Structure 1
Amino acid sequence: MKKRFASLWFRHLKTDWMTVGQPQLKEIPFVLAISTHGKLIANACNVLAEQEGVYPGLAIADAKAFLPSLKVVNERPGLTEKLLYNIAHWCIRYTPLVAIDLPEGIILDISGCAHLWGGEESYLQHIVSRFKHHGYDVRVGIADTIGSAWAIARFGNGNTIVETDKQFDAILDLPAQALRLEATVLQRLQSLGLKTIGSFARMPRTALRRRFGKHLVLRLDQAIGDEDEFIVSIKPIFPYEERLPCLEPICTANGIELALQQLLNNICKRLTGEGKGVREAVLQCHRVDGKIEQISIGTNRATAYQQHLFQLFALKIPQIEPALGIELFILEIPKVEEADPVQEKLWSHRIGLDNPVVTELLDRLKSRDPACEISRYLPAAHYWPERSMKMASSAQEVPTVDWQIDRPRPTRLLSIPEPIMVTAPIPDYPPLLFRYKGEVHTVKKADGPERIEREWWIDKGEHRDYYAVEDEKGRRFWLYRSGHYDDRAPNQWFLHGFFA
């Protein structure tokens, strides 16, 4: 695909920004000034000030001498960089590849993007009209190379589109300044009467390099496409991204859902073809007022199942505030993984969670309540109850040992055993009664004792004698006595778990 670039030049960037915030400045000449060597210098001028002869670099005292009505505003440090950074992020609605071009420009890599707006002419007009609506004067040049687009935007006839492979002819009549050259090189060219690019562009490169240095040759070759030039985007580029511009602003939840379905359909087809699935996804909604609404989802396992991903997003669509409308939707997939073939098993102690129905349920529960913590446990190679299981790192982690199923174990195990008061007839018998949280339970059935010794290589302490008991209401508990019976230590009994 042929590369295409758009160069945006904001001729009055800082003064336009001032006028947007203070509309009364639109009717008076004013400048933004900086202090240099103890005196104020004009650093940016609005259109009215320029028409009166004020220009950047002019001393404020001199400007005031012939224009007493000139308003002077102190410039904020770092204002240019901040404005261009914000504008560049706003321009992401037009392409994912946006770079800042100091001091007054933005570069867009629009390769493969313009057709979404109906072609480059509509694309250019949309950019210009939107910035004009926001109060900014911008000139745009579109060409095959960054250099020619930059030159056309600043020295061409208004907003210009250079046809593919026509950049050489397009820049021949432009002044030498259009090649982004140093002042010393420009002075040398001027002294020799080489005022336009066409006056030296066809000269042998060796002669140009010898007379004017390699930088002129580099800039000339970059402009005509003989030398590559790249931009550094302000935003990481995700290989999986879909964009959907809207002919009319979207203001309803139903419209957002339709746009999301189309984006998911495109991205899921691509992922399925590559054997990959989504682990994280972000939906950006660019509003007409320049603000961005964003929602994101995550999955427990890689999936390219469109309906499941839509259901996760649907839970968060009410969080989106469209305001005056959304004009662009961007679906980014920052994290993808290889998607394993679906296996016909639900639970397996050797395979893990492979059934998509279960993992999709977990995803929906997590999306509905971000504070919800869903954990999976695997058997561990320990006899001591608190250490007999461990938390799995993922739904697909494979256990290294089997669950011990030869002895009864409670469905719910307390992380910290809770002390209870019991009445037991003789040392090795289960209790007849026990009190737990103020309630007295009468034991009707019991099984035990099961002695579990401490793992001496890990810690020291008493053994435990466990009993599985059932009370008068059919509720089943897992109790234990710590150490040997001692009538002088009544608080030896603990409740450690509950059976189903």
Structure 2
Amino acid sequence: MKNKLLLYRLTGNYKPDDMEKRYASIWFPCLLANRKVRQDAALAHTDFVIAAPVHGKMVAKAVSPGAKAKGIRTGMVVADCKTVLPGLEVFKWEENSEHELLKALGEWCIRFSPVVAIDLPDGLIIETAGCTHLWGGEELYLQDIVQKFSRMGYQVRVAIAGTIGTAWGMARFSPSIFIVPPHQEKTALLPLPPAALRLETPVLETLSKLGMHRMDTFINMPGSALRRRFGNHFLQRLHQALGLAPEFIEPLQPTTPYFIHLPCLEPVRTAKAIEIALHQLLEEICQRLKKEEMGIRACVFTTHRIDGKQQQLKIGTGRPSVNLQHLMKLFEHKLPTIEPALGIEVFTMEVTRVMPLAPTQDALWHTAVTQDDAKLAELLDRIADRVGPQNIRRYLPDEHYWPERSVRLAVSANDSSPAQWPAGLRPLHLLAKPVLIEVMVLVPDYPPKSFQYQGQLHKVIKADGPERIEQEWWFQQGHYRDYYCIEDETGARYWIFRLGHYDDVHQPQWFIHGFFA
């Protein structure tokens, strides 16, 4: 299958039940060879093998697609390969290279399913139940897998079935069938060779001598006869492929990059011991992060008790931090909530979010600006840890004329804006949407003598303005605003504006937009 996926269904269209077990087998026919080409693009049109010493002879462990097309196969002695193809290049095989590569590819495949397992020496197994509908069905699901690996430079063959054994065999030996409908595993296996059952070489040789080159020659034979002739492992593999015997996979767990644990020689029950464990874990993780020039934005401290129960303490910071004392203070008021009960036997620390530390530079003169910024950020962290980060907001100027659009919420402590705050007077409390009010104006283009807001009449004693703010034509067309700062008889000050101007046709509207005190 060259960059194209041919799909064929044994029966008509169907929609598998998401609760049914479905497995996808991904086979890499040229796993190590494809990676070699990814590492060195000049080898794309070169015939080569990757060889390892076996019993004193160099044996091909991986073969490039070009060499495979010319008769070179894995397992051949390199000297024989050179006889067939004199210009063949030979590269040294690295131990565990298949496992390491499949592990990396498997963790990348977690985007397709949370359950991914390595299938040595050249494949992966994915549990697809409940996932394929996100792609619009199993056919589109497989197409996406093939296309993504093709763009990465890997040749793959894939198949989906209700059992791991059937999916494995279909991916490697079926010429055209790649999706097996539920409960049709036996029908799909009939034309395949016995090698599709993952059998040992001696058993395959025996089957070949007996003329059993397809599964339909023995699949309906009694199990007792098959066991006597070929052994228990043969029957187990057959039953696993047919779904008559269970088969389990060991899913890959993506490694947590910043995760450490601290086991205890004896169960811990005192508050002081818990504090010491927390300090030790934080100190270790901070030292590692400092070397990598990274800082903590969020972390979780977990205690594992003897009775199996876990307790977690979570903290977050506004900017990346490796300040041990500051992080300890964030945990400080939460430590009393931990109940050791019969004792804690393991402590763990997981940093769930990291960010690069802001670069610092030593000043030629003594200055406290950088220190003050860091202290302010740490103060905000301590406040947010008690009242909640959602209750602390910071606003920045935005490049808009309309006052309600001229500010935006900062997304982090390091967020900044190239815009400048307006030079004119602005209220302490700005309404998100101006409120229409009734006013009495003696002379056009003058501030009002009184206005009515929320059913109460306010008499204007003082007024300052106007400050004209034009409409932003790229948003919408409309009138300008003339803003006034006014004070009523009680001393309260308001920010009001007139929308438009007085003429023979239009009567402008007045709005209140903010409060100064």
Q: Do structure 1's residue 4 and structure 2's residue 22 form an aligned pair?
A: yes
**Which residue among 43, 51, 56 is the counterpart of 2:61?**
43
Flag the 1:69–1:205 CA change in 2: closer, same or farther, 3 A: same
Q: Per-residue deviation at 1:37?
A: 2.9
Give the distance between the partners of 2:97 and 2:122, measured in 1 at CA: 11
Give the distance between the partners of 1:72 and 1:368, measured in 2 at CA: 48
Q: Do structure 1's residue 373 and structure 2's residue 314 form an aligned pair?
A: no
| Aligned amino acid, residue 79 of structure 2 | A
Q: Per-residue deviation at 1:142?
A: 0.4
Flag the 1:78–1:236 CA change in 2: closer, same or farther, 3 A: closer
- For residue 168 of structure 1, what is the aligned residue in structure 2? 186
Flag the 1:227–1:392 CA change in 2: closer, same or farther, 3 A: same
Give the distance between the partners of 2:108 and 2:296, measured in 1 at CA: 18
Give the distance between the partners of 1:180 and 1:57, measured in 2 at CA: 17
- For residue 335 of structure 2, what is the aligned residue in structure 1? 394
Q: Per-residue deviation at 1:79?
A: 1.3
**Which residue among 194, 217, 228 is the counterpart of 2:246?**
228
Give the distance between the partners of 1:300 and 1:79, measured in 2 at CA: 35
Give the distance between the partners of 1:137 and 1:232, measured in 2 at CA: 24
Deviations 1:10-52 (A, max 9, x none): 0000000001111121112111111223332222111111122
Given that residues 300 and 394 in structure 1 are in contact (C-alpha distance below 8 angstroms), is that contact kept between their aligned partners in structure 2? no
Flag the 1:59–1:369 CA change in 2: closer, same or farther, 3 A: closer
- Structure 2 regions of 5+ residues with no counterpart? 1-18, 257-294, 303-308, 340-517
**What does 1:63-462 align with in structure 2 at a 5 Å threshold?**
63-158=81-176, 160-235=178-253, 297-298=298-299, 363-365=315-317, 369=321, 371=323, 372-373=326-327, 375=329, 394=335, 396=337
What TM-score do you get using the length of structure 1 for normalisation?
0.51
Q: Per-residue deviation at 1:191?
A: 1.6
| Aligned amino acid, residue 166 of structure 1 | Q
- For residue 385 of structure 2, what is the aligned residue in structure 1? none
Given that residues 315 and 330 in structure 2 are in contact (C-alpha distance below 8 angstroms), is that contact kept between their aligned partners in structure 1? no
- For residue 386 of structure 1, what is the aligned residue in structure 2? none
| Aligned amino acid, residue 327 of structure 2 | E
| Aligned amino acid, residue 193 of structure 2 | P
Deviations 1:46-65 (A, max 9, x none): 11111221111222222212
Given that residues 97 and 237 in structure 1 are in contact (C-alpha distance below 8 angstroms), is that contact kept between their aligned partners in structure 2? no
Q: Per-residue deviation at 1:235?
A: 0.8
Given that residues 297 and 317 in structure 2 are in contact (C-alpha distance below 8 angstroms), is that contact kept between their aligned partners in structure 1? no
Give the distance between the partners of 1:25 and 1:60, measured in 2 at CA: 18
| Aligned amino acid, residue 73 of structure 1 | F
| Aligned amino acid, residue 224 of structure 2 | T
Given that residues 366 and 373 in structure 1 are in contact (C-alpha distance below 8 angstroms), is that contact kept between their aligned partners in structure 2? no
Give the distance between the partners of 2:182 and 2:45, measured in 1 at CA: 42
Flag the 1:17–1:236 CA change in 2: closer, same or farther, 3 A: closer
Given that residues 300 and 395 in structure 1 are in contact (C-alpha distance below 8 angstroms), is that contact kept between their aligned partners in structure 2? no
Give the distance between the partners of 2:142 and 2:296, measured in 1 at CA: 29
What TM-score do you get using the length of structure 2 for normalisation?
0.49
Deviations 1:438-496 (A, max 9, x none): xxxxxxxxxxxxxxxxxxxxxxxxxxxxxxxxxxxxxxxxxxxxxxxxxxxxxxxxxxx
Give the distance between the partners of 1:299 and 1:232, measured in 2 at CA: 26
Flag the 1:183–1:148 CA change in 2: closer, same or farther, 3 A: same
Given that residues 298 and 316 in structure 2 are in contact (C-alpha distance below 8 angstroms), is that contact kept between their aligned partners in structure 1? no
Given that residues 30 and 45 in structure 1 are in contact (C-alpha distance below 8 angstroms), is that contact kept between their aligned partners in structure 2? yes
**Which residue among 32, 56, 59 is the counterpart of 2:74?**
56
SS in 2 for 1:230: coil
Flag the 1:69–1:208 CA change in 2: closer, same or farther, 3 A: same
Given that residues 29 and 71 in structure 1 are in contact (C-alpha distance below 8 angstroms), is that contact kept between their aligned partners in structure 2? yes
Flag the 1:21–1:193 CA change in 2: closer, same or farther, 3 A: same
Flag the 1:15–1:173 CA change in 2: closer, same or farther, 3 A: same
Given that residues 8 and 107 in structure 1 are in contact (C-alpha distance below 8 angstroms), is that contact kept between their aligned partners in structure 2? yes
Flag the 1:115–1:64 CA change in 2: closer, same or farther, 3 A: same
Give the distance between the partners of 1:295 and 1:157, measured in 2 at CA: 52
Give the distance between the partners of 1:373 and 1:36, measured in 2 at CA: 55
| Aligned amino acid, residue 174 of structure 1 | L
Flag the 1:200–1:31 CA change in 2: closer, same or farther, 3 A: same
| Aligned amino acid, residue 231 of structure 2 | G
Flag the 1:369–1:43 CA change in 2: closer, same or farther, 3 A: closer
Q: Per-residue deviation at 1:163?
A: 0.9
Deviations 1:274-323 (A, max 9, x none): xxxxxxxxxxxxxxxxxxxx99745799xxxxxxxxxxxxxxxxxxxxxx
Flag the 1:374–1:74 CA change in 2: closer, same or farther, 3 A: closer
SS in 2 for 1:43: strand
| Aligned amino acid, residue 70 of structure 2 | E
- For residue 316 of structure 1, what is the aligned residue in structure 2? none
Give the distance between the partners of 1:26 and 1:161, measured in 2 at CA: 31
Given that residues 376 and 395 in structure 1 are in contact (C-alpha distance below 8 angstroms), is that contact kept between their aligned partners in structure 2? no
- Structure 1 regions of 5+ residues with no counterpart? 239-293, 302-334, 339-358, 378-390, 399-500
Given that residues 140 and 159 in structure 1 are in contact (C-alpha distance below 8 angstroms), is that contact kept between their aligned partners in structure 2? no
